[in-house]
Amino acid sequence: MVACPACGTPVPAEATACPRCHLATSLFSAVVEAAGNARGADPTYLRTIAELISTLDLTAPATVPEGPVQGLLARPARFPALSARAAAEPPSRTPEPVAPLRGLPGLPPATGVEAMRHRIEEYFALGRRLDLDFTEFERRYGAAKLTDDEPSLDALVREMFVHLASSLAEEYDSALARRNELAPLVPTPSADVEFDATRRALADGDLAGAQRRLAHVRDTLGTIEEEWAAGRILLTECDLLTQTARDLGVDPAPALGPFEEGRSSFSKGKRQEAERLLARAAVALWAVIEPPFFDELRRQRDRLVQQRAAGVDIGPALTDLKEISTELRQRNFAGMLFAFRRLRAFGEGAGPAVGDGSEPAPVPETVRPTRAD
């Protein structure tokens, strides 16, 4: 009996998949090997890409980029800017909705010159915290308070209230959009409580209290985003790998079990478990798509050789191919797949396809590497 490398569940020798996360046993060795690359050797696929690059870049030898290959969870959490989900996958969880604001609150009563002056000073302080330009209000207030002009002070109170309430409503909507992006993935209970308190404060006309609550909301959402950033990246990577597998005509099912288990753990707030499962799922999905992925890279290489012979500048595509190698070394599957998509788009758009009846430029057999096992 062996342990599943994704979730750690004991797996009988005769089983074809993990009984918990359903990772295919045929992928166990690939996940174990990728979980650290303890030998420190360059994976065969990196050498394969180096040889493909040398076919196109005649000025450089076929060398693998320098530096150690990143372990499964040791890679930098970086890739091109993305929303929380890059593919049309269903959300991890169905969060309780947070109510939006409906209309501006009513102005609390303030009678008498002293009460209005006190209210205006509070509004000026709040305006500074919100970084609003109250220059015109300051000019009008300076003139009105010299003579204690009550109608002018009353007008100022009303106008400043509307201005501040509108600004706070915009901040509320912005924070709510940010929360609604996170909530289908991870629980946001503390932020939801602050949203409710913000609405109550605004309904009571307590603008300063609403601003303090919104500041707590922003801080809370920032903490959630920071704590769950790695998991969100891994979710996106698994989405992209799954979509790429299907684009390449491969069934990702043998590697989807850890992905679904990881997404479920993510939605339940089990961050460390989710990250471990999703990281293993990403490598398992990579093992599934690796053979057709390199078949496609070779097809694109042949196309680019033909296009170069026809006088097309293939520099951008060569840059993308080098980026694929660099991102794979860093275990940055999302960045790698974005470069791969750009490479394919260049090949499809820059000239005739190999196999369309035209004769491609010959490619020496010595630089046609076999697929990595």
* CA–CA distance, 186 with 85 (Å, rounded to integer): 13
Q: Is the dihedral of CA 261, 263, 268, 274 positive or negative?
A: positive
Ordered by start, the domain boundaries in the chain are 44-91+229-367, 113-182+187-227
pLDDT at 41: 44
Q: In the prediction, which pLDDT does 359 show? A: 42
What pLDDT is stored for residue 355 in this prediction?
40
Residue pair 183/226 in contact (Cβ under 8 Å)? The answer is no
**Residue 62 CA to chain centroid, in angstroms?**
33
State the virtual CA torsion across 194, 196, 197, 201 in degrees, nearest 10.
Answer: 140
What local confidence, expressed as pLDDT, does residue 91 receive? 52
Which residue, 257, 267, 211, is CA-closest to 25? 257
pTM of the shown model: 0.66
pLDDT at 44: 66
Name the one residue in this structure whose structure tokens are 């979730």. Answer: 7
Q: Tens-digit pLDDT profile for the chain (373 aa)?
A: 788 888 888 998 888 999 988 899 888 887 877 655 434 445 566 677 777 777 776 554 444 455 544 444 444 344 333 443 444 444 557 888 898 888 777 788 777 889 999 999 999 999 999 999 999 999 999 998 888 899 999 999 999 999 999 999 999 999 999 999 888 888 899 999 999 999 999 988 899 999 999 999 999 999 999 988 888 889 989 999 999 999 999 999 999 999 999 988 888 888 899 999 998 999 899 989 988 998 998 898 888 888 888 888 988 988 998 898 888 888 788 889 999 999 999 887 754 444 444 443 343 333 333 333 3
Residue 82: the pLDDT is: 42
pLDDT at 2: 86
Instruction: Give 3's contacts (C-beta < 8 A, 6+ positions apart).
Output: 9, 10, 11
Q: Are 4 and 21 in contact (CB under 8 A)?
A: yes
Q: Given this model, what pLDDT does residue 168 score?
A: 95
Interhelix angle for 271-309 vs 253-267, to 10°? 140
Give the pLDDT confidence score for residue 138 in this predicted structure: 93
What pLDDT shows up at residue 371? 34
Nearby residues of 25 by Cβ (< 8 Å), 6 or more positions away:
11, 15, 16, 17, 18
Mark out the alpha helices in the chain (DSSP H runs): 28-34, 44-56, 113-129, 135-146, 150-182, 189-203, 207-227, 229-247, 253-267, 271-309, 315-329, 333-349
Distance CA 275, CA 266 (A): 8
